[in-house]
């Protein structure tokens, strides 16, 4: 069984799309990042970066102890390798996929995340107009990158639908909220409309982690605690003794 430590965000939904596409059985382990589940001692054992998603394969192919994988890009590679699907084996095909997968992890995901953060923030933390403009422009630039690639490729890595497509898609569903217009990107729109119609994409996007919480219904103290948790993260100190010394 595959356990997916999950909360329904774009980084989580990449993985549920792939699991649905592969038809693999999986179990959702809710990781409520608003409440702080990503900071528990148990969670830290499976992700030193305190972020979801994390995949734990209880029955790895080598028959050994469970394997846990953090970082959604690594999780996509793991699942696709396990299923033998959506990830070419030949070196050329594989690196077509790898470069788009890493493009997503290093560019589209982080920059779109910041774009959403600053666009939602309003002026509670002072004037954000430069940050909003910078990340809105950068996300717009990246829609251009996708559009140009899709001008002469049916899918991001060529003729075949792959994990490169699945990893990029969830970050594009809110294109209007990111300040871009889908009608400016004709070839991207062709791809987006096609993926929208795939039953596994629809199922993966709809996966929840239990009932949604009403933030407004929380006590003011809990609301403040949660806001601090997400907004003011700094380094977690290493243990003072027992480590590898120089």
**Positions that interact with ligand GSH (CB under 6 A):** 9, 11, 33, 38, 51-53, 71-72, 105, 109, 230
Supply the minimum distance, in Å, between the C-beta of residue 235 and ligand GSH.
14
Buried b / exposed e along 25-55 (16+ C-beta atoms within 10 A): ebebbbbebebbbbeeeebeebbeebbbbbb
CA torsion 228→230→235→237, rounded to 10°? Answer: 70
Q: How far is the CB of 199 from ligand GSH (least distance, A)?
A: 24
Nearest distance from residue 59's CB to ligand GSH, in Å? 22
- Name the residue nearer to ligand GSH (CB basis): 71 or 194: 71
Least distance (Å) from ligand GSH to the CB of residue 246?
Answer: 30
CB of 233 to ligand GSH, least distance (A): 6
Helix (H) or strand (E) segment spanning residue 67 = strand 67-70
**Cα–Cα distance, 205 to 219 (Å, whole number):** 30
Nearest CA-CA partner of 46 in 55, 37, 57: 55
Which CB, 71 or 137, lies closer to ligand GSH?
A: 71
- Nearer to ligand GSH (CB atom), residue 129 or residue 233: 233
- Give the pair of three-digit tokens for residue 12: 């989580």
Smallest distance from ligand GSH to CB 56, Å: 14
Q: Which is nearer to ligand GSH, 4 or 195 (CB)?
A: 4
> In whole angstroms, how close is the CB of 229 to ligand GSH at the nearest point?
7
| d(C-alpha 52, C-alpha 9), whole Å | 9
Which is closer to ligand GSH, CB of 92 or CB of 236?
Answer: 236
Nearer to ligand GSH, 53 or 204 (CB): 53
| Residue among 46 and 105 whose Cβ is closer to ligand GSH | 105
User: E-assigned strands of 24-63?
Assistant: 26-30, 54-57
Q: Which strands make up the sheet holding 67-70, listed edge to edge?
A: 26-30, 2-6, 54-57, 67-70
């Amino acid at each position: 069984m595959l356990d997916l430590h999950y909360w329904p965000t774009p980084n989580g939904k990449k993985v549920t799309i792939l699991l649905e596409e592969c038809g693999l059985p999986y179990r959702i382990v809710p990781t409520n990042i608003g409440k702080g589940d990503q900071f528990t001692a148990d969670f830290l054992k499976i992700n030193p970066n305190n972020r979801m998603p994390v995949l734990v394969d209880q029955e790895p192919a080598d028959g050994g102890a469970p394997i846990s994988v953090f970082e959604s890009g690594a999780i996509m590679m793991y699942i696709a390798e396990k299923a033998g699907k959506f990830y070419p084996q030949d070196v050329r095909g594989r690196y077509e996929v790898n470069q788009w997968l890493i493009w997503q992890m290093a560019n589209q995901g982080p920059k779109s995340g910041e774009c959403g953060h600053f666009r939602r923030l309003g002026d509670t933390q002072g004037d954000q107009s430069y940050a909003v403009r910078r990340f809105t422009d950068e996300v717009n630039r990246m829609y251009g990158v996708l559009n140009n690639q899709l001008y002469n490729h049916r899918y991001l890595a060529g003729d075949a639908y792959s994990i490169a497509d699945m990893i990029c898609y969830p970050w594009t569903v809110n294109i209007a909220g990111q300040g871009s217009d889908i009608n400016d990107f004709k070839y991207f729109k062709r791809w987006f409309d096609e993926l929208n119609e795939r039953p596994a994409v629809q199922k993966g996007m709809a996966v929840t982690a239990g009932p949604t919480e009403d933030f407004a219904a929380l006590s003011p103290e809990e609301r403040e605690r949660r806001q601090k948790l997400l907004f003011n993260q700094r380094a977690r100190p290493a243990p003072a003794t027992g480590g590898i010394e120089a």
